[in-house]
Structure 1
């Protein structure tokens, strides 16, 4: 495939190296919102910045270029993007984390929340750790995890960053040099605790997942998730 990389930072460069190994061509690599012809690409992968992501994906929709976006921090415009994608008969996958392992972790989190929903002695919390260059806090992955718990657990209505209030899930965000990403969900009671953790060893897993998603999306129309890609019902 001919791939456009919209956002050419550390993640973009990792995707570039892996894409070449998989036999793909990189026809665009840019950190700008203008100055390139997106129509020359078969598919686009967006790992840009929050202020650019919405415009990037809309440009892809209007040029009928399937787009995979892993940029977080712009989701106030997500529903609008979905609407435009459908109007333009585009193809779109957004994920707060493209790691194949995290996709499985999301599903484990949902199932665990369902099982814990009636156990009132347990309080849930989330901790996420990322590298010091990460711009947003909490991470998009942590927000996705929290929202999934809220959807399944009647005791929780919202999440809070670094604070704990009634009916909220406390999220602790830490920034430590050279940490690719770690997320832990913990349920604690006076008698015991249950935790599940996903730890990213490096950026390769994110790049691999984004490429797998792009390969799957090519030739399709519609709005999808990584659950579609991995056939998780």
Structure 2
């Protein structure tokens, strides 16, 4: 272990990770001054404590947006952290952009996590699943088991944290957030999002040319 690490190395590591000064110093000492190894050590340490940080208040952050090519679909997302320092970090900005892009790609997603799903939605979906014909002749215990499996799958499909990250399907969005908590050393929360689709909710005029010609002929 190094007895002393340079202030420059500490500054570089802090700039890359957003971790605290003492955490950076200890990580560099443990990695014999190797920056990349220190980053990996910080990540591992942070992943182990990410759940503990999840209860900490996060009121800083940023609002970012992703507009899909063609300008017909856009997403705005608010991503929170604990300090303005982390909010300015490139890794935090990139995370916000990736989250917005994920939401644009996963249009079935309505909620951030399972705890955000209203009981009314769960009841409605359960009723729909329970009325499917393939369950009618099943024994009650078998029916309940199938129903629970389908409901779990359905609820996961509408929650952001359960989605596979589009840039790395082996990682879920929840795991992606935890990795950034580890790297940046602060609690990170996706607070809210809004998806916009061009013309959504508008009644679109649909002209049938053949029908219009027919009306013109018979009305004359």
- TM interval, shorter chain, is under 0.3
More RCO (CA 8 Å, sep 6+): 2
Q: When you count helix as a share of all residues, which structure comes out higher?
A: 2
Question: What TM-score results when the alignment is normalised by the length of structure 1?
Answer: 0.24
Question: What TM-score results when the alignment is normalised by the length of structure 2?
Answer: 0.25
Q: When you count strand as a share of all residues, which structure comes out higher?
A: 1
